[in-house]
Amino acid sequence: MARNVITMRDLEGVEAGGEVQLAPGTLITPLAQEEAERRGIVFRVLQAEEAPAPRAANQPPQTRTIAIGADHGGFELKEKLKEHLRDWGYRVLDLGTDSPAAVDYPDFAEAVALAIVRGEAQLGIVLDSAGIGSAIAANKVPGGRAAMCYDRATARNSREHNNANILSLGARLISPEAAREIVAVWLQTPFAGGRHERRVEKIRAIEQRYSGRR
C-alpha cells in the first residue's frame, strides 16, 4: 500500500507554530520539511490507535499519475525512482525500458511526452546517461516541456517559472539520493503563473508557428 506524503502545499493552511498530525509511515518531502522548520510547524506521528482507518481496497486513490521512461543508461535509476514515487502515493506509468540491454533513448522520451499530451499522465520523468538527449527528444513532441535538472534549485525553477511537465535526469551524472531529492522538489513545486504565464505562452506560440515545418 502506498504511504501518505506531505508536501509544502499541505502546509499552506497551517498556522506558524502549529502541529500537523501524521499517520505512521507518512513521508515528508524536503521542501515541506524546510517550510515547517521556517514556520515552526511540528509534525506529530499518531499512534496506531489514533491513526485513521486505511483506505478501502476498492477505493481508488485521488492522486496524479507520473509517466516514466528510460534507456539502458537510466534503467537502474528508473527502477529506484519508481519505488519512491509509489511510496509517495503516486501512480506510476512505466513506459520502459525493462532491462539494461542497449536501446535508443528517443523512443522512451517520445513515449513519455506523448503520455503527457494525451492526458494519460499529468507529469513525466525521462532518464538516460546524461539526460540531454532525452530532454531534446521529449521537447520535439508538441506540448512537451522537458527540463534537464541537476539539483534542487533547477528542479524548483523549471516548475515554478517554466511550468515544465517532463523532468529529464542524467543517471550517470547524479547520485540516486540526489535524484530522489530532485524528483521530490520537482513534483511538489507548483507553477507560479503571473509574469511566467506570459512567457510560457510565448513558448507555446513558437511551437505553434513552427509545427509541421521540417
Condensed to tens digits (0 to 9), the pLDDT of residues 114-124 reads: 999 999 999 99
Condensed to tens digits (0 to 9), the pLDDT of residues 31-70 reads: 788 888 888 889 888 765 444 444 444 433 345 899 999 9
Q: Is the pLDDT of residue 180 over 60?
A: yes
Domain extent, residue 27, equals 5-45
- CA distances 138 to 19, 21, 98, 187, Å, are 42, 40, 19, 18
What pLDDT does 211 receive?
Answer: 81
CB distance 88 to 27 below 8 Å: yes
Its pTM stands at 0.73
Q: Do 73 and 40 fall within a single domain?
A: no
Q: Do 24 and 111 fall within a single domain?
A: no
161 assigned to active site: yes
52 located within any domain = no
105 vs 139: CA distance, rounded Å: 13
199 located within any domain = no
Q: How much is the average pLDDT of 141-149?
A: 97
13 located within any domain = yes
Question: How many domains would you assign to the chain?
Answer: 2
Q: Do 71 and 16 fall within a single domain?
A: no
